[in-house]
């Protein structure tokens, strides 16, 4: 028996006096058993593949968008967007009020458009609220950060 619990007469994996496959394959303290006999720290043992397999890198497309980096005073909220649309077309539509820096859509027909000045934000709210974008009447309003659970 290779495991110290089985040597004491009880393996919690199988029952009293019996060893399991793990216990039989594990080396015991005398160096006998199927597992080799030379003790190695866990980080030096080879298990066939490394932790996590091929590795899943962070940051592939999940970084902060320019909309998240932009101040709230320089963004407008857009509602009533169609389900599928081109972000370039949305940005071109909002360029009527001033040069927009970023446009994106979100869930439920909502989106946001970023500008460089507050005057452009004001122009977008006054000129484009109620305008037609790809067959839908859109709403344009000042960007207000969604309240978090800590705020309520």
DSSP notation for 8-45: TTEETTTEET---HHHHHS--TTS-STT-S----GGG-
Alpha carbon distance 127, 98 (integer Å): 10
State the Cα–Cα distance between residues 132 and 146, nearest whole angstrom: 26
Please report which confidence band the pLDDT of residue 136 belongs to, taking 50, 70 and 90 as the band edges: very high
Judge if pTM exceeds 0.85: no
Integer Cα distance of 23 and 17 in angstroms: 12
Between 8 and 109, where is the model more confident?
109
**Domain of 131?**
66-83+93-142
The whole-angstrom separation of Cα 7 and Cα 23 is 10
Q: With respect to residue 52, please indicate whether it lies within any of the assigned structural domains.
A: no
Tell whether 41 is covered by a domain: no
* Residue 48 located in a structural domain: no
Q: Is residue 109 part of a domain?
A: yes
Torsion sign across C-alpha atoms 29, 35, 41, 42: negative
What does the pLDDT read at residue 63? 66
CATH code of the domain containing 113: 3.30.70.330
Buried residues in 67-90 as b, exposed as e (16+ CB within 10 A): beebeeebbbbbeebeeebeeeeb
The rounded percent of the chain whose pLDDT value lies above 70 is 60
- Identify whether 56 is part of a domain: no
Q: How many domains does the chain have?
A: 1
Confidence of residue 125 (pLDDT cuts 50, 70, 90): very high
Task: Please check whether residue 101 lies inside any domain of the structure.
Answer: yes
């Amino acid at each position: 028996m290779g495991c110290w619990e089985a040597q004491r007469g009880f393996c919690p994996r199988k029952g009293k006096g019996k060893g399991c496959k793990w216990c039989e394959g594990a080396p015991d303290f005398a160096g006998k058993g199927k597992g080799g006999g030379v003790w190695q720290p866990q980080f030096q043992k080879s298990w066939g593949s490394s932790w996590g397999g091929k590795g899943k890198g962070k940051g592939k497309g999940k970084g902060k968008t320019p909309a998240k980096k932009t101040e709230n005073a320089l963004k407008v909220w857009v509602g009533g967007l169609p389900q599928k649309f081109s972000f370039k077309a949305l940005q071109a539509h909002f360029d009527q009020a001033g040069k927009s820096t970023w446009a994106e859509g979100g869930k439920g027909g909502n989106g946001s458009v970023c500008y460089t000045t507050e005057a452009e934000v004001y122009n977008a709210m006054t000129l484009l609220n109620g305008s037609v974008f790809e067959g839908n009447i859109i709403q344009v309003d000042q960007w207000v950060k969604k309240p978090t659970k800590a705020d309520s």
